[in-house]
Structures are given as structure tokens and as C-alpha cells.
Amino acid sequence: MFIANWKMNGSQSMLSDWLEGVGKTLDKSLQKQCLLCPPVCFLSEASQLISKYKLNISLGAQNIDPSSFSPITGGIDGAMLRSIGSEFVIIGHSERRDIFKERDSLLLEKLKSASEDGLKVIFCIGESLKEKEENQTAKVLKQQLQIVKNAELNEFMIAYEPVWAIGSGTAANIDYINKVHREISDEVSSYQKEGFLGVSYGGSVDSSSSKDILLIKGVQGLLIGGASLQYQEFCNIVLSNN
């Protein structure tokens, strides 16, 4: 799966150009592997454009608020996201863990809520630079995965994103990704959850690094931030998978 995480970027015209461009560049079977996660305000229009251009691309939201918190000012729950075309939701991104101080108890509520509302989940985990330097990566990731172990989930993918690689311009090296992905896969497989879709990598992926990363056996997808904003670059990443 190729996940375009636009973060807080985009506009209506960019959305329409992007979808039209991806539609013209990728055939239907490649489109099927693509998941666009634009800011929530563009989801509805994205859904309409996908129908209009007869595309095979899925949509996801970048965040969800637990419905158990209702009513909450500014909140958007899973049923609302589904109603505007979202099939997936990203939960646990390091930017939200860091800036909005999202802790495990809240993330667990989000996971529960997503599953109750029938959304598939992209659950992000990753170690900080300090944790990596202190050789704490395996321990930290295992800890972050505990709420996945304890939650009832529909289909879900784990997105491994080393925090120090995100937005840095340099992806983690191949041996490192290979090793960490194997550890994550082993850990999550031991939970024996039926909906486990595998582990994707994120953190400064672009079309110059994607091919080698995709060749790693344990990599089932890419979560792409900055390089997903230009449709040509995003398509080059998808096309590098052969």
C-alpha cells in the first residue's frame, strides 16, 4: 500500500490536479494500492472526484476523535469520517504524539472508536533519536504496540516511522529498516490478529529511496509525507515497485 499523508498541506485545486494526474499515470491495479490521506476538509470533495474520474484510490483521514468523548468542540468521529468517504484512519502519528501529547490511553480510545465505526487503521509507531542512540528501539516499539495487542481491531497496518527520519530528507538505512520491520512483524504476528495487513515504512521516502526499501521482504507499504504532495513524484514511487 502507498499512503499519501498530506499532513496540513493542500488546496482544492491541488486535490483535483493530484487525483486527475494519478488517474492518468497509474493503471487501475496500481491505483488500488494507493491511499490518499488529505486534510479532513478535503475528504468529501476527494470522494466526489474519485467517482467523477472513475478512480480506484482509497481515502483515509489523518485523525479521529473517540466517539466516547462526545460532545466535544471541534471533534470529528469515525461515523462522520466514514460518511465523507474515509475507509482508513491514521492513528498515533509521532507529530500528534509529540505536539498534542497523545498518550496510550487516548490512542486506545481512538483505536476502539475507529473499529466500532468500521474504519481500517494505520497505526504509527517509531523511536526518537535519543531512544535509538540509547539502543532502546526494540523496547520502545514493543511498548507502543501494547495497545494494539489489547484493542479489538478491524483491518490494520502498522506504520513504522523512525521519528528522526521524518521530514529529515534521509530515510533510515536498509539494514536498519529490515531489522526493525522483522521485529515488529514478529511481535504483531504473535498477537494473532486476523486483520493484520503488515508493516509499512515511513520517514523521508522519495522516488530515489523507494525501490530499495520496497525490496525489503518485511515492507508491505510506504507512508509518504512530503514526497506525496507532487503527484508525479508520488506516482514515481508507486512505479518503482517492480
Q: Which of 102, 161, 181, 187 is catalytic?
A: 161
Half-sphere exposure of residue 48: CA atoms within 13 angstroms, side-chain side:
7
Query: Does residue 226 touch ligand PGA according to CB under 6 A?
Result: yes
Is the distance from CB of 28 to CB of 56 less than 8 angstroms?
yes
Tell me whether residue 67 or residue 159 sits nearer to ligand PGA (CB atom).
Answer: 159
Instruction: State how far the alpha carbon of 49 is from the alpha carbons of 21, 130, 169, 229, in Å.
Output: 12, 43, 31, 17
Give me the 168-207 binding string for ligand PGA, x by CB under 6 A, dash otherwise: ----------------------------------xxxx--
Tell me whether residue 22 or residue 172 sits nearer to ligand PGA (CB atom).
Answer: 172
* CB 196, min distance to ligand PGA, A: 20
* CB 161, min distance to ligand PGA, A: 6
Tell me whether residue 198 or residue 226 sits nearer to ligand PGA (CB atom).
Answer: 226
Is residue 93 annotated as a catalytic residue, yes or no? Answer: yes
In the chain, which ranges are continuous DSSP H helix? 12-25, 28-31, 43-52, 78-83, 94-99, 104-116, 129-133, 137-150, 174-189, 210-214, 231-239
Cis peptide bond prior to 71, omega within 30° of 0: yes
Tell me whether residue 75 or residue 167 sits nearer to ligand PGA (CB atom).
Answer: 167
Q: How far apart are CA 167 and CA 226, in angstroms?
A: 7
Query: Does residue 223 touch ligand PGA according to CB under 6 A?
Result: yes
Virtual CA dihedral for 111, 40, 3, 123, nearest 10 degrees? Answer: -20
**One-letter amino acid for residue 113 of the chain:** S
Classify 193 in phi/psi space as left (phi over 0), alpha (psi -120 to 50) or beta.
beta
Is residue 181 annotated as a catalytic residue, yes or no? Answer: no
Q: Cell digits for 155?
A: 483491518
Q: In this chain, which of 24, 100, 103, 167 binds ligand PGA, going by CB under 6 A? A: 167
Q: In this chain, which of 23, 59, 225, 234 binds ligand PGA, going by CB under 6 A? A: 225
Query: Does residue 166 touch ligand PGA according to CB under 6 A?
Result: yes
Tell me whether residue 10 or residue 53 sits nearer to ligand PGA (CB atom).
Answer: 10
Q: What residues act catalytically?
A: 93, 161
Where do contacts with ligand PGA occur on this chain (CB under 6 A)? 5, 161, 166-167, 202-205, 223-227
